[in-house]
A and B are shown apart, each in its own frame.
Chain A
Amino acid sequence: MKELRLMKGNEAVAEAAIRAGADGYFGYPITPQSEVLEYLMTEKPYEKTGMVVLQAESEIAAINMVYGGASCGKKVMTSSSSPGISLKQEGLSYIAGAELPCLVVNVVRGGPGLGTIQPSQSDYFQATKGGGHGDYRLIVLAPASVQEMADFAKLGFELAFKYRNPVMILSDGAIGQMMEKVELEEQKPRWTDEEIVEISPWATTGKTPDRERNIITSLDLDSHRHEKHNEKLQAKYKKIQENEVRYEKIHCDDAEYIFVAYGTSARICQKSIELGRKKGIKIGLFRPITLFPYPSNALRELSQGLKGILSVEMNAGQMIEDIKLSVGTTFNVEHFGRMGGVIPTPNEVLEALEQKIIGG
């Protein structure tokens, strides 16, 4: 039975993870996402479902705990915010290289450095272009509501296991902190040992006489063999691009102009659309839900009947590069953003459209 609750985004992702049958969470406190660990420690899922929850000594330890758990075929996750996510990059690279499933939540705050604790989208490049060393990709989901924080916990685990690939929920301080109504799915049982062996026969669960030993590694000192491994990874990312694109179109049917925005920016754009339409501007919103794979084809198709696109991001202009790759550099595309943790107002977004795109 589904259940309706009023929750913070950070709490919703934690509760949804428990209900998705997660086996383990490993994290380290950092604002604006500490509620994830706090919620789990209060809920004590280790007494209810047997889910392990552990406050690690650092984000580095936490992601490597995730690495160890994922290697056993367990549904494991971590969460953090920007500076902590930077510390996790080496681990994420190993996890991607070793082709392991896991869920990572980044409740983004403003950077660079210690930056600020206010919401931001300045980790777009880090999340979508690799982040750590080596040619790899995360599957990146961008929630724009508390409901999606919950939904993407389950979806994230599903995609992670489907592709044996780390999945990141790229949220921000506003989505993590705000409270909204959320519909929660019923509790799924955790996988049994037998199910794990069946679902993930590659997992290190102990070498039984019926199979060869299982090894989890990202190392191969033979460069030609390692190139083959890289080709396999690239083929997987291509498959993900073909099959897992998700996006939403709002008021796009008659639109002459669109905003392209995700997460908190997308919510603000919806208000800007209301204001703009009152003034007679035919404007819509294209909201990428997967940032990798980026919905390039859908955006290119949509752009065909348009006069211009404004990329609205809480950063200096990162996603605009993917928009330009989608629609071409000659198309009328501009960026508008606020940085350092400042959330733009609907009015300034509309003004930017009028000045940079319509007037430009």
Chain B
Amino acid sequence: MEEKISIEEIRKEENLVFVKTKLLTDKSLSYCPGCGHGVAHRITMEVIEEMDLWADAIGVAPVGCSVLAYEFMNIDMQQAAHGRAPALATAIKRLMPNKLVFTYQGDGDLAAIGTAETIHACNRGENFTIIFINNGIYGMTGGQMAPTTIPGMKSSTSPYGRDVKIMGNPLKITELVATLPGTYSVSRHSVHTPGNVRKAKKAIRKAFENQKLERGVSFVEIVSNCNSGWKMTPNDSNIWMEENMFPYFPLGDIKVDGELVK
């Protein structure tokens, strides 16, 4: 007869392959199952823990699906008005230069209503980090068109697909901020496969390390899915993202150590 192994026996130190970081609270995430926000939260908090910066970290939550990021991130946090996170972060970092300051923003927040704050903080060369979740849609308000909704993509306010003649062009804000003298590092990643999660995490770590150099904004875009807003299953949304979003928003480094990648 086969012997039954109890759960306690499995949960031994030597068997552990994953431990939730202390920098995430026990609150269950408010995100839709399959959404990339949760993974982006986790890797951001893991990096802060690994860098031993818990007591230094001050995060700024946006208005968007991640408005409640402060419920999940177990660090000191401020909740900004829609689009204004870079203004808050500017003041926090200037008033407390030794802290690790970052904003966590969606595309509507960062590239529509907050465009001025984004561009000017990036152009001034503020020494904080921007983590930008680009899901090509307004998730929180129910799936309206975003500045990063790609041509032809459907949303509740572009129900027949984005027609650029009527609705204008999407904004490649990440490429735009990379051209500004005040950004030091700019890169684009995704969190939909284990390999990509590892790369994104490395990029966030690099961005936080760059912040310590005080050479300007370190900017990490994560192209992510919004399976609810896109009206797809999580798996289909990831496939759709690979096939449609990545060609428009190619992954990789855009600016490294202050130099644009050719």
Contacts and interface: CB of A to CB of B under 8 A. Distances in A.
Given A67-B81, A74-B95, A204 B76 contact: yes
Nearest to A54: B94
A23 interface: yes
Contact of A72 (B74, B95, B117, B120): B95
A57 B117 contact: yes
Interface stretch (A139-147, A216-224, A280-288): A216-224
Interface stretch (A31-39, A123-131, A207-215, A304-312): A207-215
Interface stretch (A58-66, A292-300, A333-341, A352-360): A58-66
A10 interface: no
Contacts of A69: 91-92, 95
Contact of A57 (B67, B74, B95, B116): B116
Contacts, number: 123
B81 A213 contact: no
Nearest to A66: B91
Contact of B94 (A52, A57, A58, A219): A52
B78 A217 contact: yes
Contacts of B78: 67-68, 71, 204, 215-217
B67 A219 contact: yes
B60 A68 contact: yes
A83 B88 CA distance: 22
Interface in B89-144: 89-92, 94-96, 99, 116-117, 120
Nearest to B61: A217
A164 to B, nearest CB: 15
A206 B101 CA distance: 10
A258 B95 CA distance: 48
A208 B54 CA distance: 7
A68 B87 contact: yes
Interface residues of A, number: 38
Looking at chain B's contact residues, the main secondary structure is: mixed
B70 A91 contact: no
A100 B77 CA distance: 14
Interface residues of B, number: 32
A216 B84 contact: no
B153 interface: no
Interface string B31-71: 00000000000000000000000111110110000011010
Nearest to A193: B96
B101 to A, nearest CB: 9
B81 A90 contact: yes
Given A72-B58, A76-B91, A207-B55, A91 B81 contact: yes
A218 B68 CA distance: 11
B77 A213 contact: yes
Interface in A248-299: none
Given A26-B91, A68-B92, A207-B74, A91 B84 contact: yes
Contact of B91 (A24, A90, A94): A24
A64 B81 contact: yes
A50 to B, nearest CB: 10
A8 to B, nearest CB: 26
B76 A214 contact: yes
Given A214-B76, A217-B79, A209 B88 contact: no
Contacts of A72: 58, 91-92, 95-96
B177 interface: no
Contacts of B180: none
A56 interface: yes
Contacts of B68: 219
A241 interface: no
B75 interface: yes
Nearest to B94: A52
A326 interface: no
B54 to A, nearest CB: 6
Contacts of A23: 95
A72 B90 CA distance: 12
29 contacts: A24-B91, A24-B94, A52-B91, A57-B116, A57-B120, A65-B88, A65-B90, A67-B84, A67-B87, A68-B88, A69-B92, A71-B92, A72-B58, A72-B91, A74-B95, A76-B91, A94-B81, A204-B76, A204-B92, A205-B96, A205-B99, A206-B58, A206-B76, A206-B99, A209-B55, A213-B74, A215-B77, A216-B78, A217-B78
Interface of A: 23-24, 26, 52, 54, 56-58, 60-62, 64-69, 71-72, 74, 76, 90-91, 94, 98, 204-209, 213-219
Interface of B: 54-58, 60-61, 67-68, 70, 74-81, 84, 87-92, 94-96, 99, 116-117, 120
Given A54-B94, A67-B87, A214-B77, 6 more contacts: A24-B95, A68-B90, A206-B56, A206-B96, A207-B55, A216-B77
